[in-house]
């Protein structure tokens, strides 16, 4: 399949939930892909000439771009809009009106803004050898401990961003579709929050596995019996011995991060 045949189908059908242009030879994806308002899964495996990731529609839940050896992941910036988590709907409130409206109406608008914070879990598996600096690097391999800043109270939390650098040594690559599990450790034990099988990886070719997790599902567990000063995630793989977890990075995503990414109109 070449891109000339693939584009018309994409442009004419905004109802796509999944698209898989695997083994294509394009350098970049058409910008119209950001208009696929129902797209949840995009698979770009073995697109050897692909250099840049597209702007993603807000409906996206999973992006897989394994074995894309030309991908310029050093320029990947997870703090750009629609790159790591779905963009919230923007509600524009003209500042000049604030002084002329009752407090109740302004309060209602602010509550509506709260509902627009990104709440969809998003996973990304791409070719890459360097964890972006936006994630706070950790010395540990698979343990991502997030220290909560004193100036970021719990009502300012939006979610957690995790990134793991993985290398497979399986030969041939199809010998094992590695299963990776991510756990959240709370004061009263651990809970599995994500489990999936990865697409085959070329031996010794590093890949980045990133996750964005909304705070809503895990708030109670984090604060149940603890002080909430540190949140710990662990990435594990039990399927075989041929997958290496090299290092990890993580970030507590706060409302200010979302405002910085999407501008003051958020």
Tens-of-pLDDT digits for all 266 residues of the chain?
Answer: 444 454 445 544 556 677 777 788 888 888 788 788 888 888 889 999 998 887 778 788 889 999 999 988 766 666 665 566 554 444 444 555 455 555 554 454 454 444 456 667 788 999 999 888 888 877 677 788 787 766 777 778 888 889 999 999 999 998 888 999 999 887 777 888 889 999 999 999 999 999 988 888 777 777 665 555 678 888 888 888 899 999 898 888 888 887 777 664 44
Question: What is the rounded distance in angstroms from the CA atom of residue 213 to the CA atom of residue 127?
Answer: 21
Regarding beta strands 62-65 and 122-127, do their DSSP bridges make them parallel or antiparallel, or are they unpaired? parallel
Alpha helices in 62-158 (DSSP H): 103-115
Q: What is the pLDDT of residue 112?
A: 41
DSSP designation for 121: -
Which of 262, 184, 255 lies closest to 223, judged by CA? 184
SS (H, E, C) 209-251: EEEEEEHHHCHHHHHCCCCCCEEEEEEECCCCCCEEEEEEEEE
Q: Is the pTM of this model over 0.75?
A: yes
Domains in the chain, CATH or no CATH each? 1-71 (no CATH), 82-262 (2.60.120)
Per-residue burial over 46-68, b if 16 or more Cβ lie within 10 Å, else e, is: bbeebeebbebbbebbebbbbbb
Q: What is the pLDDT of residue 81?
A: 54
Q: In what order do the strands lie in the sheet with 41-43?
A: 18-19, 41-43, 62-65, 122-127, 207-214, 157-168, 243-254, 136-138
Q: What are phi and psi of 108, to 5 degrees?
A: -65, -40
Would you state the structure tokens that stand for residue 110, as one six-digit string? 């602010």
Model pLDDT for residues 220-252, shown as the tens digit of each residue: 777 665 555 678 888 888 888 899 999 898 888
Question: What is the rounded distance in angstroms from the CA atom of residue 39 to the CA atom of residue 60?
Answer: 6
205 burial level (CB within 10 Å; 0-12, 13-18, 19+): middle
Question: What is the rounded distance in angstroms from the CA atom of residue 102 to the CA atom of residue 227?
Answer: 38
Would you state the structure tokens that stand for residue 242, as one six-digit string? 């041929």
Q: How many CB atoms lie within 10 A of CB 120?
A: 16
Q: In what order do the strands lie in the sheet with 189-197?
A: 143-147, 230-236, 179-186, 189-197
């Amino acid at each position: 399949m070449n891109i000339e045949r693939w584009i018309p189908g994409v442009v004419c059908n905004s109802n796509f939930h999944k698209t898989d242009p695997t083994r294509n030879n394009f350098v970049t994806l058409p910008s119209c892909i950001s208009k696929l308002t129902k797209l949840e899964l995009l698979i770009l495996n073995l697109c050897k000439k692909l250099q840049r990731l597209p702007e993603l529609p807000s409906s996206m839940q999973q992006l897989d771009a394994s074995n894309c050896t030309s991908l310029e992941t050093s320029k990947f910036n997870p703090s750009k809009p629609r790159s790591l988590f779905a963009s919230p709907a923007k509600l524009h409130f003209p500042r000049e009106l604030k002084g002329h409206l009752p407090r109740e109406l302004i309060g209602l608008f602010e509550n509506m803004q709260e509902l627009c914070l990104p709440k969809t879990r998003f996973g990304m598996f791409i070719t890459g050898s360097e964890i972006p600096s936006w994630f706070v690097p950790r010395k540990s391999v698979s343990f991502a401990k997030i220290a909560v800043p004193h100036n970021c109270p719990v009502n300012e939390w939006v979610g957690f961003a995790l990134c793991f650098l993985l290398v497979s040594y399986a030969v041939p690559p199809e010998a094992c579709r590695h299963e990776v599990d991510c756990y959240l450790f709370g004061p009263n034990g651990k809970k599995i929050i994500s489990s999936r099988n990865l697409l085959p990886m070329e031996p010794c070719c590093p890949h980045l596995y990133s996750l964005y997790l909304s705070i809503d599902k895990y708030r109670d567990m984090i604060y149940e019996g603890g002080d909430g000063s540190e949140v710990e995630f662990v990435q594990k793989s039990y399927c075989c011995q041929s997958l290496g977890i090299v290092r990890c990075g993580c970030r507590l995503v706060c409302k200010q991060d979302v405002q910085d990414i999407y501008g003051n109109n958020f």
